[in-house]
Amino acid sequence: MSEEIAPVIDEIKEALPEVEEARIREELERYMKYGIVLREAKKAIIKKFGGTQQNFESSGEKKLVELKGNEMNVDLTVRCLSSTERMQHTSNGEKTLITGLVADTTMIRKYVSWEGHFLEKGKDYRIKGAQARTYRGEVEINLGAFTNVEEAEEDALKDLDVSKLPRFGNLLELTLKDVKAGLSNIHVRGKIMNIEKRVIETERGSRTIFDGMLADDTKRIRFTSWGDFPMEIGQVVSIKGAYVKEWRGIPQINFDERAEIEVLEDVDFDIMKTPRLLAEELMEAGASDVEVVGTVIEVREGSGLIFRCPECNRSLINGNCSVHGQQEGTPDLRTKIILDDGTGALFAILNTEITENILGMSVKECESRFCEDESRVVDHLNQKLLGREFEMRGNVIRDDFGPTVLPNTVNPHEEEYMEEARELIEQLEVL
Partner 1 sequence: MARTREAARRVFAVEYNSSQHEDRGLEENAPNYVITPLGESVNRMYLIGVLMSKTNNGTDDSPMYRAEIRDPTGTFYLYAGQYQPQALTALAQLEPPALLGVVGKIRTFVRDDGSFYASVKPEVIFPVDIPQRDRWIISTARFTMDRIRALKDAYGMDDPNEKDLVEMGHSGRTAASAVRSIGIYGQVDLEPIKKGIRDALDLVLEGGGESLGELPKMESGPSPKEAEKEKPGAEVKDTVFAIIKATMGNKGALYRDIIEECAKKGIDKIQLEETIQELLDEGLVYEPTIGIIKPV
The site for partner 1 (CB under 8 A) is made up of: 31, 33-36, 40-41, 44, 59, 279-280, 283, 295, 297-298, 301, 317-318, 320-322, 325, 338, 340-345, 347, 375, 378-379, 382, 386-389, 400-403, 414, 417-418, 420-422, 424-425, 427-428, 431
Nearer to partner 1, 192 or 346 (CB): 346
Residues 6+ apart with CB under 8 A from 365: none
Taking the complex as a whole, the smallest distance from the CB of residue 389 to partner 1 amounts, in Å, to 6
Q: At what angle do helices 375-385 and 352-359 cross, to 10 degrees?
A: 80
Taking the complex as a whole, the smallest distance from the CB of residue 278 to partner 1 amounts, in Å, to 9
Taking the complex as a whole, the smallest distance from the CB of residue 376 to partner 1 amounts, in Å, to 9
Taking the complex as a whole, the smallest distance from the CB of residue 265 to partner 1 amounts, in Å, to 31
Q: What angle do CA 340, 345, 347 make, to 5 degrees?
A: 100
Q: Which residues pair with 194 in a beta bridge?
A: 213
Between CA 13 and CA 19 the distance in angstroms is 7
Nearer to partner 1, 229 or 307 (CB): 307
Q: Which residues pair with 389 in a beta bridge?
A: 295
Burial call 368-404: b when 16+ CB within 10 Å, e when fewer: eebeeeeeebbebbeebbeeeebbbbbbbbbeeeebb
Nearer to partner 1, 8 or 297 (CB): 297
Taking the complex as a whole, the smallest distance from the CB of residue 268 to partner 1 amounts, in Å, to 25
Taking the complex as a whole, the smallest distance from the CB of residue 318 to partner 1 amounts, in Å, to 6
Taking the complex as a whole, the smallest distance from the CB of residue 358 to partner 1 amounts, in Å, to 16
Nearer to partner 1, 101 or 397 (CB): 397
Taking the complex as a whole, the smallest distance from the CB of residue 13 to partner 1 amounts, in Å, to 20
Nearer to partner 1, 227 or 412 (CB): 412
Taking the complex as a whole, the smallest distance from the CB of residue 379 to partner 1 amounts, in Å, to 5
Residues 6+ apart with CB under 8 A from 31: 40, 41, 44, 45
Nearer to partner 1, 260 or 280 (CB): 280
Nearer to partner 1, 98 or 293 (CB): 293
Q: Which residues pair with 255 in a beta bridge?
A: 225
Nearer to partner 1, 136 or 276 (CB): 276
Nearer to partner 1, 80 or 282 (CB): 282
Taking the complex as a whole, the smallest distance from the CB of residue 301 to partner 1 amounts, in Å, to 7
Taking the complex as a whole, the smallest distance from the CB of residue 214 to partner 1 amounts, in Å, to 25
Nearer to partner 1, 264 or 317 (CB): 317
Q: What is the CA radius of gyration of the chain?
A: 27
Nearer to partner 1, 83 or 303 (CB): 303
